[in-house]
Structure 1
Amino acid sequence: MKIFDYLREYDYEQLVFCQDENSGLKAIIAIHDTTLGPALGGTRMWTYETEDDAIVDALRLARGMTYKAAGAGLNLGGGKAVIIGDPKRDKSEALFRAFGRFIQGLSGRYITAEDVGTTVADMDLIHMETEYVTGVSPAFGSSGNPSPVTAYGVYRGMKAAAKEAFGTDDLAGKTIAVQGVGNVAYNLCRHLHEEGASLIVTDINKENVKRAVHEFGAKPVEPSEIISQACDIFSPCALGAIINDDSIPRLKARVIAGAANNQLKEERHGDAIQEMGIVYAPDYIINAGGLINVADELQGYNRERAMKKVETIYDNIQKVLKISKRDNIPAYRAADRMCEERIERVRKSRNMFLPDEKDELVRI
């Protein structure tokens, strides 16, 4: 892998390799952009086939976090870390504490959190060595389970998309097909049910479906049938790449708004649904509630303040759709443009000299 070519292509700032023989730690920290603030992004632990795969994953995820934080209006940049190893076999106190020391050594340029393969308990071990970690146990000031907050953000974003499509954000009487009824989607369904929406649900876990049917009066369908349901809104809340060549011709919804990451299999699929007149709420804008929530921990967690910030996802979706109209581009491109414009505005506003405590000029 030509690492510097990749870094230059997407303008990454830093790639850090961490090795500790005693604990067996092999980790990579990628910092994409810190224009808006320190890079925040979770630590993923995974059994990568090659070291190049681990590097690419860290880099790709870090860049995504830059856009997610910028789109959410946070004063944070994008970063991500990966630990190479089996999360079921290779975890230890020594490993996570060693990793915490590497994070501490970055002096706040990177702040971590849990991700695939890591847990709150792992964050607590990292926290023994560094203050630059979120998602720790509530006893240390954590916000707790982020799923309900993420769900609330998706609910707010869905209402904004509905207003664009139907002229009102009232979801009462609307039929919403929800793909996946895990922790986030269950809480989303609760909000939708309370507003009076009719739900169609599916999940590979039958118990999740039964719970939604029992509590919300949802109509259950098989996973293969959810795409083709007659509905007003399709809400993908399971695996990514659900908007693809096979699913697009079967879509009957006027709005796509859900919690899943990477919903478009390819960018051209975002072009296709735009041409069909479907209002799309870009995934990393609408599902940013969890990030907003953990980011509030950096100020000393205040739930009311965090939820007020999550409510602005409604406004962020409206901004994306406005840019889409302004520039005549699909919503997924408009989301990127909104984030890039904000980063560039802040970069230019910081392009000045300020005196330090010794009255010397330093560039920030």
Structure 2
Amino acid sequence: MLRLAFANLKYFGNLPPRFPDAELYKGAIGDIVGSGMNFGAYSNRIDVMMYVWFYSIIQFISGNIYITIINMNTLFGSLAIYNAGKIAKEIKDEKAMIITMSLLLAYPSLILYTTDNLREGLVLFFITLAIYNLVKYIKYRESKNILIYCVLLIPIFSFRVVNLPMMVVCGVVGVVIANRKTINIKYLIAGSILTCLIAWIIVYNFTNVRITLDYINQTLNRDRFDSMAYLVGLRYDNWLELIAYIPIRLFYLMFYPFPWALESYQYLIVTISSLYEVIIVLIVIIFLFKESKYIKNKTLLYSIISFALICLTAYAVVKSEAATRHRLQFMWMFPTVAGILISNQISIIYDKKFKRLYKK
């Protein structure tokens, strides 16, 4: 309810920030509905067209009430938070679920980008639901969970095409982790290559994304004109350089903009969100090292961190501007892990206190 109240206050109060993409989507959806649902080729990107077409239908059904789109995106964002909470509960307990959901409700980027006419709420819902089923598959090894994960790749692809290859890689990693004691290496290699190849063929035919240094450098060059661009002069001359620069690019993707890079009040919220992300990741690192021997379900915990890093690394290689919207799709996994670790820490403190009282 609070998220819906904020979304409506922001819209009707015309509060900043306003997003260019949201205005473009609004115009395209309005044109389609106004033309009597004449679905035209609004964009050469299939994921953008799918989003516009989907919400054109929703707006038409609602009687051409635009706020319906914002409210639905807000709802999808709330369901994404709930899915993340279910992941925490699956790994730890209900207390971890409550802490995780509280952390995500306070996540500035999640508040900002899932309460507007942007794709983030919709994409986050399907990604969190997919990861939830992947975690359940690793834990229980039930075929239905990996099947649901595969089915969810369809809407993930439909609303953000470039996420498909990295989500496929996460799926392969999840299957390997779940079957690590019994898996046949030959079948694993063959299956992984075939699965990734199919995913890449789909992306290759439906987008202009290419795995070449020229394409990556062109993407980086385009980002340098952004007002929040970083590492502007850093380019790849060969594949070894690309690999060598991954750590620094990953660091920037996860935490930029830094406070000292703030040049305008309009970037204040994303800067605060970056500070939030730094604190969350520090909590994860400290608790992982401090209480490692007390952590249960380490495999599931490290699996989530692996999924986040796989996807963030893929974005880091080709991004050179403050991609707070893009990283949100996967950074939510760190507050989820933090919620589990905080819950674990509370249990440790309680157990130690109980033991001392028991001894007395």
- TM-score normalised by the shorter chain: which range applies? under 0.3
Tell me the TM-score normalised to structure 1 length. 0.27
- Of structures 1 and 2, the one with the larger relative CO (CA 8 A, separation 6+) is 2
Higher helix share: 2
Tell me the TM-score normalised to structure 2 length. 0.27
Higher strand share: 1
